[in-house]
Amino acid sequence: MRPGRWTRVFALAAAASFAGCQRGEEPLPQGPGEKKLNVYIWSEYLPQEVIEEFQRRTGISVRYDLYDSNEPVLEKLQSGVADYDLVVPSDYMVRILVHLKLLRPLDKSRLKNLGNLDPRFLDKDFDPGNAYSLPYLWGTTGYGYDKPKAGREHESWAPLFDPANKGQILMLDDMRECFAVALKFLGHSLNSTDPAVLKQAADLLKKQKPLVKTYNSGDYENILASGDVSYAHGYNGQLAKLVAREPARFAYVLPKEGATIWMDSVCIPRRARNVDAIYAFLDYIQEPEVNARIVNGISYASANVPARRWIRPEILNDPAIYPSEAALARCEFLEDIGEATTILDEYWTEIKAQ
C-alpha cells in the first residue's frame, strides 16, 4: 500500500542474513494441509463478506491478522515460526522476500483464473515471470490539494515546486517517492541512474525544501484535511477517500508528467502448509465477480480485467482510482536501481539535514 523506508528495510534484511536466518534450503512443506487458511494482510484490504462467502463455499475457515506497514511481514516470515499461508506485501518488499528466499514458488498449473489479470501488471522487475507473486491491488502516488485555497485546477507537479506555496506543501517522508516527483517533473524516468540526472533532481529537491512544511508518510490526508497544508504528496488510496468525503474541497492529481505506480501482491510464505486452501483462495479472489466485490468494498483498483463489468461505475470512472490509459502509460513502477540507491541516499541525507 505504501512503500516504507528503504534504509530501515535493508538494515533489517542485512541484519537477518547476518544472523543466519535464511532458511531457504529447507524442503517445502508438502501435502494438502488442513482446511484452514491464515491470511496476513493490510488493514481494510479484504471485505468481510468476501471472506464469509469463501468459508461458506469451501468449508475452509479463514483467520486473518492485519498490519499497517510492510516491515511486520518481513519480521514474521523471518521468525520462521509464524503460520501464515498468504501475505500481501508491496512491490519493493516482494523483492526483498524473494531475495531472502522466504517465499514459496507459485504452482501456476493450479491457478485457473490467471488469464483474468492485465498483463500490464505481470512480469514486473520485482518478481520476473511472477514466480512468487500475483497482483492484488494497485494505485498511484500523486498529490491531493485544497481547491479553494489553490484557487485553480492543477494537473502538473508544478505547484509542489512553486515558491508561492511556501509552507503549504507536504511531501512523503520517502526518498524514492520524493526523487520520483523531481525526476518526473524534470522529464526523466523515475528509475534514472544517470548521476547527472540524479544531481539535477537532488538540486530541485534542495530548492524545494524551504517550501515544504513537513515530510510525512503516516497521516498526510488528515494534515491536508485539517487545513495545515494545501498540497499533500501521497498515495491515491487515502487521498481518494478524502476526496470522496469532500469533493467540493479536495481533489487528487495524477500529474501529467507521470508518477509512481505501486502494487501489492499476494505471496505464499515458504513455510505455508495449507496448500490446497491457499490455491482455492487464490483462484477465488480472481473470479471476476468476487474480485469486483473486493474493489467495490475498499475502493482500490485491481488488475483483474473481466471484474470491471461488476465494479461500480463511480469507482471505475474515478481517475484517482482507475486512471485513464494515457495517464497510466506515463506512470512507472519503482525498480531496483542498484548502486544509484547509494547516490540517492547521500543526496537525501543532505536534503533532510539542510
Partner 1 sequence: MRRGSRLLAVHAAAVYVFLYAPIAILVLFSFNRTSQTAVWQGFTLEWYRRLFSNELILASVRNSLIVGAATTAIATVLGTLVALALGRHEFRGKGATRSLLYLPIIIPEIVVGAALVTFFGVVGLRLSLTTVVIAHVVFSVSYVAIVVKARLSGFDRSLEEAALDLGARPLQTFWRVTLPLILPGVVSGALLVFTVSIDDYVITSFVAGVGATTLPLQIYSMLKVGVTPEVNAVSTLLLAVTVVLILVAQRLHQPPSERAES
Positions touching partner 1 (CB under 8 A) are 19, 21, 38, 43-44, 48, 63, 65-69, 72, 75-76, 78-84, 218-219, 221-222, 225-227, 238, 241, 245
CB 159 within 8 A of CB 240: no
**Least Å from the CB of residue 292 to partner 1:** 21
Cell of 179: 526523487
Name the residue nearer to partner 1 (CB basis): 80 or 306. Answer: 80
Name the residue nearer to partner 1 (CB basis): 64 or 310. Answer: 64
DSSP string, 109-171: GG-S-GGGB-GGGSS-TTSGGGSSEEEEEEEEEEEEEEHHHH-S---SSGGGG-GGGTT-EEE
Name the residue nearer to partner 1 (CB basis): 255 or 269. Answer: 269
CB 211 within 8 A of CB 161: yes
**DSSP one-letter code for 29:** P
**Least Å from the CB of residue 300 to partner 1:** 11
Cell of 60: 475452509
Name the residue nearer to partner 1 (CB basis): 38 or 208. Answer: 38
**Least Å from the CB of residue 217 to partner 1:** 10
**Least Å from the CB of residue 74 to partner 1:** 12
CB 10 within 8 A of CB 95: no
Q: Which CA distances in Å does 219 have to 69, 147, 228?
A: 13, 19, 12
Name the residue nearer to partner 1 (CB basis): 19 or 164. Answer: 19
**Least Å from the CB of residue 72 to partner 1:** 7
Name the residue nearer to partner 1 (CB basis): 65 or 346. Answer: 65
DSSP H helical ranges for the chain: 6-18, 48-58, 71-79, 91-99, 147-150, 175-185, 195-208, 220-225, 236-245, 275-285, 288-298, 313-316, 325-329, 340-353
**Least Å from the CB of residue 44 to partner 1:** 5
